[in-house]
Structure 1
Amino acid sequence: MHTLNLGILAHVDAGKTSLTERLLHTAGVIDEIGSVDKGSTRTDSLALERQRGITIKSAVVSFAIDGIVVNLIDTPGHPDFIAEVERVLNVLDGAVLVISAVEGVQAQTRVLMRTLRRLRIPTLIFVNKVDRGGARYDSVLRSISEKLTPAVVAMGSVDGAGGRDARCTPYTRADAGFTDRLTELLADHDDALLEAYVENAAVLPYYRLREELSTQTGRALVHPVYFGSAITGAGVGALIGGVRELLPASRGDADGPVSGTVFKVERGPGGEKTAYVRMFSGTVRIRDRLPFGRGDGRAEGRVTGISVFDHGSAVRESAVGAGRIAQLRGLGGIRVGDPVGDPDTAAPGRWFAPPTLESVVVPSSGTSRGELHVALAQLAEQDPLINLRQDDIRKEVSVSLYGEVQKEVIQATLADEFGIGVTFRETTTICLERPNGSGAAYEVGEQNGNPFLATIGLRVDPAPVGSGIAYRLEVELGSMPFSLMRAVEETVGETLRQGIHGWQVTDCVVTMTHSGYWPRQSHSHGVFDKSMSSTAGDFRNLTPLVLMSALKQAGTTVHEPIHRFRLELPADQLGPVLPVLAQLRAVPGTPAVHGSVCVLEGEIPAARVHELQQQLPALTRGEGVLESEFDRYRAVVGTVPDRPRTDHDPLNRKEYLLHTVRRIASGG
């Protein structure tokens, strides 16, 4: 049987989980459709998911369509959990993007569709909730074409939209208007088809159009649009037919080298890990020794259990091959995003913005900070973007966040799974620093107050925006032992996590310009004398002093995350809204007035989006609609925010050396 790994994506509350339930029921996997409101759905298994009625973690279920095994992955719709969606995108063969026929295209819908198109993931669009009051057909279809992509075609009509008896009728070859629209759409991407159409449209048989629709959908050039209702089942049969006919099945060589990627990690009651792996090539069998991870984190484990998804459940198997999704057990150190097998597997893409918020996690009385850190570290294994930040000075730990709802999830998870109660401090924005220019510094071992047996010279230069951090050498690679070279490079990366103002430094090139070391020395009886020989510790301790001195000479500018916003509001309320936007440091563009509705686009600091959302209902009589998404980092205007350092500040040489030398003397 062929396999199709299918993602279900949507803006929150568009009905994506309900659609999953309806698909499973139609395929005969479940006898009764679960309810999101009642917390009885198959894919929302977490207690918090059932309580809130939202999807938080991606979940995999399966069903069969005419010889095709569909592994259906239900993803979160709330923007706070976009990291879950990002990981799933790397393993999909195709997707269904769900849109509400009532609310239409929403902020998250646009973000998702833009990403699906950029990754060229074959995508069908399902307009759900045609049975709900306020459901629309023509205007939603027009909005999809205007806001998402013009390369769409409706695959059927809707009668009685907005009522429980709404019916969805698929178009056929007998619908001349449909075949004309389909021909025009497909001809835009096929010159031979266009030529035949221009010469004589009648020579294009319907089967030829369907074949070309399948081809172009599979290449993510066009996106068929289906209408229906997950609650009543209207139109779902046509959608299933579209999945079977138009989306491509998995490809991969089961006899090739083992290659796959981990997109989800769960822990069992005993703490054992289960890795969800999409296999791209090869076959994994029980008791195989399987390498995983990257670089220095490369490890190996013995596979003790394999489960694949079949007819709605995870079924134990002895092996899993290319194209399938499996649960692998026995790989203790595995993390989300790890490649398994072939180390050349491409790194998972970053398609969405990183978290731009953070908050300090405060343990309740009776909970040690050590217990909290261990629990958070386990959560970070399942979600690397949680990104723990340990402050050894203040004995605090911070987590990165996409939004306030994520706080509730972390809080509930710590309570339910670890028995740890926590609260959060006020959410703050994560900024970054970029060098203003170039700066250089060097220190010679045991000279001018340098107590370390190490000579290091470093230069910091600015680099293009978005390039990250690059490390280069202007010294011979063999001028020092590799272990000492590696110590400097690793410490450069660690040191740049906190710049002049305490923020991560990025978009720069760090070049090693000077190097020197003391070769290994021994006493006459052959015992290694550490006091006379350079160690990696000497270079790790000196690097922060040299690098921060160079960075201080270069200077840095703090940049804050900026969102693009689109605001729809009553035209007569524009006046009261503009002063509020100014107070929030937003920069609006020119308003566009369409009758009684005004559309305003512009920029706003990420830190102020939540405030705008809170004030908007009162400002617009409850009619304002705000869409926002991360756009870029912009230099801070006015007071520069400083972030408290979590280390012994290398910018304060005296205190840094006092602490470092004392630590070395004590053997710490």
Structure 2
Amino acid sequence: MHTLNLGILAHIDAGKTSLTERLLYAAGVIDEIGSVDDGSTQTDSMALERQRGITIKSAVVSFAIDDMTVNLIDTPGHPDFIAEVERVLSVLDGAVLVISAVEGVQPQTRVLMRTLQRLRIPTLVFVNKIDRRGAQYERVLRSIAEKLTPAVVPMGSAEGLGSRGACFTPYAAGDGDFASRLVDLLADHDDAFMAAFVEDEKALSYGRLRAELAAKTHQALVHPVFFGSAITGAGVDSLMAGIRELLPAVEGDADGPVSGTVFKVERGPAGEKIAYARMFSGTVRTRDLLRFGEDDEGKVTAVSVFDRGSAVRRASLTGGQIGRLWGLAGIRIGDVIGTPRASAAQRGHFAPPTLETVVVPCRRADRGALYAALTQLAEQDPLINLRQDEIRQEVAVSLYGEVQKEVIQATLANEFGVDVTFRETTTICIERLVGTGAAVEIIDKDPNPFLATVGLRVEPAPINTGVEFRLGIELGSLPFAFIKAVEETVRQTLRQGIHGWQVPDCTVTLTRSGYWPRQSHAHAVFDKSMSSTAGDFRNLTPLVLMDALRQAGTRVYEPMHRFLLDIPADTFGAVLPVLARLRAVPQAPVMRGSSYLLEGDIPAARVHDLEQQLPTLTSGEGVLECAFDHYQPVQDTIPTRPRTDHNPLSRKEYLLHVVRRV
């Protein structure tokens, strides 16, 4: 049986979860359709999801369309939980992008579509809520073509919009206008097809057109559009037929090398880790010793596979399938299982979080419980990026927005019994090197108190290339364990530069090294005072690296968002000075009908202020689309972040903590 791993994506409130319920009902998996408002849906299983009526965690359900098994993944729609969507993208064969027939294309819709196109994920568009008052057909199609992609083709007509009787009628072979639209669209993407059409127009049968449409949809060049209602079921049968015909199902290679990826981790009733994995090839069986991550191994104690609704226990998980694995205690989200795919680039699809806040327990006695709870949450969402300050006994988390903060607070209270508050949300900056710097400290030579010689050179690297560690010493001149200790410490230390911000892009070269070999007294007792250890290199490296950074110099950069503002023309005069106060830099406005379109850059720290002021400034008619775009040098007061390490910028303070002496 073929398998299709399908993602349902949308802006919040477009009806993703309701569509999932309707698909399960139409496939015969459930007997009654659940309600998002009542908290009775299959995929919103968290108590918090049921309370708030939004999807927070991705969820997997399964159903069959003819001979094809569909593993459907319902993802969050709120931009604060975009990290959940990112993790799902790596396991998809295809996607359905849901758009409301009333609200149309919204900011998050555009972000999602751009990402789906960049990753070449075959995508169908489902325009939902045609039964709602204010539903539009032509206007929504026009908006999709203008704001998402012109490579769309409606697959049928919608009648009775705005009423419970609204319906969708798919186009058939006898519809000449539909065939003409297909020819025009397909010809734009295939020269051979265009040549065949020019040579003999009549030779292109309707069956050939549908086959070409499926082929171009598989290549993510064309996006068929369906209309319907998840509530009434209108158009859902046509969408299911489209999923079967137009999206690429796979037949996994069960006998190939084991290769998969983990996109979700949760805890079971007994606290055990459960890994959600998509297998691309091979077979994982119960009691198999499985390799995952960089260098970890674990024995699989149980396997379940998604089949017709929920996951059921099986003896094995094979290529093409999605399942759950037990027994892998050290596994993390994003880990590769077995052999990495040649095309599996491990990089983020969306921007990292740009906000940060300190989590404060309401009861001092809950500090330990808070850290343990946040550690578990970080397993499920690594991008919250725990940052523990042992000096101040504080824990900070990274965020996408204020709603995410509320969810963390409610989750800590409901699931862990820990009540918390938050400090003021701040912006996460970064530091970039200005020039090149070098430093060295010699073994047994003041002021170096460690039995190690370390020389380091730091140089700027191209943006988004990360930290590269190079060897500028002869191979064999330093034991591998000591080299590894230096490299790991370099990467750890660069999380806090001169001003306390991470230094993300640079090249660090180990230029000099030295050590004292292991020595013992006559009675063969190891003498630490005469022998170098990895600890000497770990302790010395931060001092040398910070000296090199000081010599190179760093500049602090703040995150900037690209904004698109659609406002009534008569509010332009009131909005412009507010943008100036918020340090936004708009481009020349574009007049469109009775509104102005403004595009430009705004500091991430000011986005929330703009969101709050916009409704008042525009009488509720302004629409803001905003997404991270780049980092920009800070021009005013340089922001600093309190250090959470032993401050290698101050030798006296550092040595007092590390060796208890100066």
Offset of residue 366 of structure 1: 5.3
Verify the 8 A CA contact 1:251 1:280 in the aligned structure 2: no
Corresponding position: 1:53 with 2:53: yes
Please tell me the residue identity of whatever aligns with 1:26.
Answer: A
Q: Any idea what SS the aligned residue of 2:140 has?
A: helix
Structure 2 partner of 1:502: 500
Quote the residue 1:119 is aligned against.
119
Specify which of 295, 318, 338 is matched with residue 335 of structure 2: 338
Post-superposition shift, 1:560? Answer: 0.7
Among candidates 356, 359, 379, match of residue 358 of structure 1: 356
Structure-1 separation of matches of 2:256 and 2:192: 37
Secondary structure of the 1:569 match is strand
The alpha-carbon deviation at position 653 of structure 1 amounts to: 1.4
- CA distance 1:196–1:95, shift in 2 (3 Å): same
| 1:465-491 Cα shifts (integer Å, max 9, x gaps) | 111111111111211111111111111
Counterpart-to-counterpart distance in 1, 2:584 and 2:480: 50
Match of 1:403 in 2: 401
CA displacement 1:361-391 (0-9 Å, x = unmatched): 1112154322211111111111111110010
Counterpart in 1 of 2:326? 329
- 8 Å CA contact 1:367, 1:420 repeated in 2: no
Instruction: Give the aligned partner of residue 537 of structure 1.
Output: 535
How far, CA to CA, are the matches of 2:565 and 2:624 in structure 1? 5
2:463 is aligned to 465
2:100–2:128 CA contact under 8 A, matched in 1: yes
Letter matched to residue 379 of structure 1: L
Q: Which amino acid aligns with 1:430?
A: I
Please give the per-residue CA displacement for 1:110-156, whole angstroms capped at 9, x wherever unaligned: 11111111111111010111111111111211111111111110101
Question: What residue in structure 2 maps to residue 596 of structure 1?
Answer: 594
* Comparing 358-367 and 229-238, the one that deviates more: 358-367
Please, which moves more after superposition, 576-585 or 191-200? 191-200
- 1:257-656 alignment to 2 at 5 Å? 257-294=257-294, 298-342=295-339, 346=344, 348-365=346-363, 367-656=365-654
Q: When the two structures are superposed, what TM-score results if normalisation uses the length of structure 2?
A: 0.98
Cα distance in 2 between the residues matched to 1:15 and 1:557: 45
- Deviation per CA, 1:617-655: give whole Å up to 9, x if none: 100011111000010111111111000111121111122
8 A Cα contact 1:292 1:343, kept in partner: no
Question: For residue 266 of structure 1, what is the amino acid of its counterpart?
Answer: E
SS at match of 1:477: coil
How far does residue 325 in structure 1 lie from its aligned partner after superposition?
Answer: 0.6
- Aligned Cα root-mean-square deviation (Å): 1.3
TM-aligned CA deviation for residue 188 of structure 1? 1.7
1:172-226: CA deviation from partner (whole Å, max 9, x where unpaired): 1211111001011111222221012223322210000011111111111111011
- What's 1:167 paired with? 167
Q: Counterpart of 1:83?
A: 83
SS at match of 1:409: helix
Partner Cα separation in structure 1 for residue 403 and residue 503 of structure 2: 28
Matching residue's letter, 2:24: L
Distance between the aligned counterparts of 2:412 and 2:292, measured in 1? Answer: 28
Kindly state the Cα deviation for residue 250 of structure 1 after the two structures are TM-superposed.
2.0
Write the distance in 2 (CA, Å) between the matches of 1:343 and 1:66: 32
Structure 1 equivalent of residue 107 of structure 2: 107
Q: Which residue of 1 is the match for residue 148 of structure 2?
A: 148
CA distance in 2, matches of 1:343, 1:565: 37
State the one-letter code of the partner of 1:351. Answer: H
Q: How many residues align?
A: 661
For 1:96, the equivalent position in structure 2 comes to: 96
SS of corresponding position for 1:278: strand
Structure 1, residues 546-576: CA drift from partner, whole Å, max 9, x if none? 1101101111110111100011111010111
| 3-state DSSP of counterpart to 2:476 | helix
- C-alpha separation between the residues in 2 aligned to 1:300 and 1:327? 17
CA distance in 2, matches of 1:507, 1:342: 28
Q: Secondary structure of 1:368's match?
A: helix
- Contact 2:429–2:556 (Cα < 8 Å) also in 1: yes
Deviation at 1:507, TM superposition (A): 1.5
Residue by residue over 1:250-284, the C-alpha shift from the partner in whole angstroms, topping out at 9 and shown as x without a partner, is 24310112111111111112101111111111111
**Counterparts in 2 of 1:227-242, with a 5 A limit?**
227-242=227-242
3-state SS, counterpart of residue 478 of structure 1: coil
The Cα offsets for residues 217-240 of structure 1, whole Å up to 9 and x where unpaired, read as 111111101111111111111100
What is the rounded CA distance, in whole Å, between the counterparts of 2:156 and 2:213 in structure 1? 15
Secondary structure of 2:371's counterpart equals helix
Q: CA deviation at 1:347?
A: 5.2
Distance 2:119 2:606 in 1: 31
Runs of 4+ deviating beyond 4 Å: none
Pair 1:243-2:243 in alignment: yes
Structure 1 distance, partners of 2:657, 2:278, is 47
Residue pair 2:113, 2:148 contacting (<8 A) in 1 also: yes
Give the secondary-structure state (helix, strand or coil) at the position aligned to 1:248. coil
Say if 1:257 and 1:281, in contact at 8 Å, map to a contact too.
yes
> Deviation of residue 321 (structure 1)?
0.9
Unaligned runs of 5+ in 2: none
Q: Check the 8 A contact 1:261/1:339 in 2, yes or no.
A: yes
What residue number does 1:10 align with? 10
Q: What is the CA distance between 1:302 and its match in structure 2?
A: 1.9
Q: Alignment identity in percent? A: 72
Q: How many angstroms apart in 2 are the aligned matches of 1:527 and 1:595?
A: 86
Tell me if the contact between 1:90 and 1:348 (Cα under 8 Å) persists in the aligned partners: no
Q: 1:474 to 1:486 in 2, by over 3 A?
A: same
Contact 1:87–1:348, Cα closer than 8 Å, also in 2: no
Name whichever of 58-67 and 519-528 sits farther off.
519-528
Q: Give the drift of 1:24.
A: 0.7
Read off the aligned partner of 1:411 and give its amino acid letter: Q
2:366–2:418 Cα contact (<8 Å) kept: no
Specify the code of the residue in structure 1 equivalent to 2:171.
Y
Alpha carbons 2:260, 2:340 under 8 Å: kept: no
Q: Secondary structure at the match of 1:504?
A: coil
> TM-score under structure 1 normalisation?
0.97
SS at the partner of 1:623?
coil
**Counterpart residue number, 1:29:** 29
Amino acid at match of 1:646: T
Which whole-Å CA distance do the structure 2 matches of 1:430 and 1:147 have between them? 30
Shift of 1:329: 1.2
Once the two structures are TM-superposed, the CA of residue 287 in structure 1 deviates from its matched residue by 1.6
CA contact (8 A) 2:33 2:41 kept: yes
How far apart, CA to CA, are the structure 1 residues paired with 2:315 and 2:505?
47
Q: Deviations over 1:329-358 (max 9, x none)?
A: 121221111122226674543100011111
